[in-house]
């Protein structure tokens, strides 16, 4: 850098701790005709979250990131107290990309201690993640609906890694006639295929190697579908990867219709989505991948 050049520091996002301050920012943005994007997170940000923020920057004039570890999403034996809280590092990561961060305390979001009125996720909310974590999606949709009401975004960004979450948010928006666009951004992975997750930091070096079983199982299913094998064969190919790693405890592995998130019949054709969850040591991980089933080999 020459003596005539200056080094600029990316602007830090404005930190908002109250609903009132956030609504005031939103009112000013609306008065100026600005388009608003919301990226809801629980913090402990990684490159997957930052990809959502980058996409939000392309879609809107004002980008608000929420950082809130929502107690309603955690069951009694889950890691609410242990969940990483890294606000200072998160703010540094968001410098130059997010305009504002809404980081409320629990009693700001739940002043009565808990919500008496909640959002029920319905049938799909009781499957897969919902079966393993009862009430999780009701808690997730409740806090997302509160965030939507506070921020009133034009568009909200979610990660495709949490495919069931994104599906249920879309369903809520449609069912409640909310004027919000929902965009799911594709999963960001390490070079070896491991999907980025805030919980990856819990993995030991050996557990991280074992965690690659999830992405390996997805690849096996994708390869089977590319060979024009049916749903049952793709599922068996994915399950075989877990059979080879007994130290990885499979929770569920299912191939669903992405339009309904209900299981596909073994002879179904068209689009599919494989969902998987497993525990590596004390850490529970999820992943998914799109599939296409066809009885006719590509010409």
- For residue 49, say whether it is annotated as part of any ligand binding site: yes
> Does 120 count as an annotated binding residue?
no
Residue 36 in contact with residue 61, Cβ under 8 Å?
Answer: yes
198 known member of a binding site? yes
162 is in an annotated binding site: yes
Beta bridge partners of 256: 263, 273
49 tagged catalytic: yes
Sequence-ordered strand ranges (E) for the chain: 14-16, 36-41, 62-67, 100-102, 155-159, 181-185, 248-256, 270-280, 283-293
Residue 43 is assigned to a ligand binding site:
yes
> Which of 28, 102, 18, 11 has the alpha carbon at shortest distance from 65?
102
Consult the annotation and say whether 44 binds a ligand.
yes
Q: Is 48 annotated as a binding residue?
A: yes
Question: Does 73 belong to an annotated binding site?
Answer: yes
Please tell me the distance from the alpha carbon of residue 285 to that of residue 288, in angstroms, as a whole number. 11
Q: Residue 245: which of 205, 214, 202, 286 has the closest Cα? A: 214
Q: Is 161 annotated as a binding residue?
A: yes
140 marked ligand binding residue: no
Characterize the bridge pairing of strands 181-185 and 155-159: parallel
Q: How big is the CA angle at 21 (ends 175 and 31), to the nearest 5 degrees?
A: 70
Q: Which of 49, 120, 136, 228 is catalytic?
A: 49
Binding residue numbers for ATP: 42-49, 159-162, 188, 196-199
The residues carrying an active-site annotation are 49
- Binding site, by residue number, is 42-49, 73, 159-162, 165, 188, 196-199
User: Which residues are part of a known binding site for beta-alanine?
Assistant: 73
């Amino acid at each position: 850098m020459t003596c005539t050049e200056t080094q600029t520091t990316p602007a830090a996002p404005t930190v908002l701790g109250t609903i009132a301050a956030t609504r005031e920012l939103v009112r000013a943005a609306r008065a100026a005709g600005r388009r608003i994007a919301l990226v809801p997170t629980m913090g402990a940000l990684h490159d997957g979250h930052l990809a959502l923020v980058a996409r939000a920057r392309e879609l809107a004039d004002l980008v608000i990131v929420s950082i809130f570890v929502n107690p309603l999403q955690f069951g009694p034996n889950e890691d609410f107290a242990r969940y990483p809280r890294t606000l200072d590092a998160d703010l540094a990561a968001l410098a130059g990309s997010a305009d504002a961060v809404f980081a409320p305390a629990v009693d700001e979001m739940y002043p009565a201690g808990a919500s008496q009125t909640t959002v029920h996720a319905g049938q799909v909310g009781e499957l897969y993640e919902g079966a393993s974590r009862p009430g999780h999606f009701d808690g997730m949709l409740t806090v997302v609906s509160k965030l939507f009401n506070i921020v009133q975004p034009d568009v909200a960004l979610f990660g495709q890694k949490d495919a069931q979450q994104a599906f249920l948010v879309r369903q809520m928006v449609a069912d409640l006639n909310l004027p919000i666009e929902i965009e799911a951004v594709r999963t960001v992975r390490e070079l070896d295929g491991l999907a980025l997750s805030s919980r990856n930091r819990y993995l030991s070096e050996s557990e991280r190697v074992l965690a690659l079983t999830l992405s390996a199982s997805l690849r096996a299913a994708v390869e089977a579908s590319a060979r024009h094998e049916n749903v049952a064969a793709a599922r068996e190919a994915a399950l075989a990867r877990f059979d080879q790693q007994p130290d990885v405890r499979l929770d569920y592995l299912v191939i669903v219709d992405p339009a309904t998130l209900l299981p596909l019949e073994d002879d179904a054709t068209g689009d599919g989505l494989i969902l998987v969850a497993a525990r590596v040591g004390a850490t529970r991980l999820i992943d998914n991948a799109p599939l296409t089933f066809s009885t006719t080999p590509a010409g």
